[in-house]
Amino acid sequence: MARNKAEDATTASMGGTQQMAAPEETFADAQTVTGVVVPAEVGTIATAGPAIRTLVEWLESQVSGGDADPFAGLESMIRQVFEADTPADVLKERIPVSGKSFLRKPFVLNGFSVTRSEFSEGDGCPYYLNLQATDERTGETVVINIGSWIVCAQVAALVNADSLPVRCEIREKDKPTSKGFYPLRLHMPE
């Protein structure tokens, strides 16, 4: 099958060479060199182009400990408790915040983990990121949950370029999509 330069650049930038499926095939039918197995419920992204398939494969390869690891999400919260200096810091509730509740608030993206989403919203991303960040306004460590396709791609590209930590903020598109969603993406703070 013939591939164009954009497809080659996308797969090369996401970690290597990949055998691409024809656009009319489902993702589950795609052959990959990396051997990452994508769960069937995620593999229903029919007619996905090579960039989306590559991103889904990368996200699946990053899932922290999978669903079988009940401790994957607790590590950073327990570390924060152990590193606390005051009783108030020890007793502070540490819950993740949504990307929408963190719009236009500058932060340093220090790391991330990936979780499979329990929600199926048609063409929405079947994964979400748990961004480990430092709020620049307060200096506090915060976990920001976000399931935007574009943010997932941006984080993958930043990781591939070895560009973490990085200063950024989340912005929402001014106009909704045809389905009424306001897509989120990362930007450099102004």
Q: Within this chain, do residues 102 and 167 fall inside the same structural domain, yes or no?
A: yes
- Is residue 162 in some structural domain? yes
Task: Please list the pLDDT of the chain residue by residue as tens digits (190 residues).
Answer: 344 444 444 444 444 433 333 333 333 443 343 445 555 555 555 456 888 888 988 888 888 654 445 565 567 678 778 988 999 988 987 788 999 999 999 999 999 989 888 876 667 888 999 999 999 999 988 999 999 999 999 999 999 999 999 999 999 999 998 888 899 999 999 8
Q: Within this chain, do residues 58 and 133 fall inside the same structural domain, yes or no?
A: no
Walk across the sheet containing 107-116 and list its strands: 97-98, 141-146, 127-135, 107-116, 166-172, 184-187
- Is residue 69 in some structural domain? no
Give the torsion sign (CA, 162, 100, 78, 74).
Answer: negative
Q: Within this chain, do residues 116 and 51 fall inside the same structural domain, yes or no?
A: no
Closest CA to 131 of 174, 185, 93: 185
- Is residue 160 in some structural domain? yes
Instruction: State the pLDDT at residue 40.
Output: 52
The tally of domains found in the chain comes to 2
Closest CA to 49 of 38, 41, 37, 57: 57
- Is residue 28 in some structural domain? yes
- Is residue 74 in some structural domain? no
Instruction: State the pLDDT at residue 29.
Output: 40
Q: Within this chain, do residues 52 and 119 fall inside the same structural domain, yes or no?
A: no
Give, in order, the Cα–Cα distances in Å from 133 to each of 3, 18, 30, 153, 168.
Answer: 38, 32, 34, 17, 10
Instruction: State the pLDDT at residue 174.
Output: 95
Q: Residue 47 is part of which domain span? A: 5-62
- Is residue 21 in some structural domain? yes
Asked if residue 184 lies in contact with residue 170, where contact means CB atoms within 8 angstroms, the answer is yes
- Is residue 82 in some structural domain? no
Instruction: State the pLDDT at residue 121.
Output: 63
Structure tokens at 135: 């709020």
- Is residue 90 in some structural domain? no
Instruction: State the pLDDT at residue 148.
Output: 93
Q: Within this chain, do residues 165 and 102 fall inside the same structural domain, yes or no?
A: yes
Asked if residue 129 lies in contact with residue 74, where contact means CB atoms within 8 angstroms, the answer is no
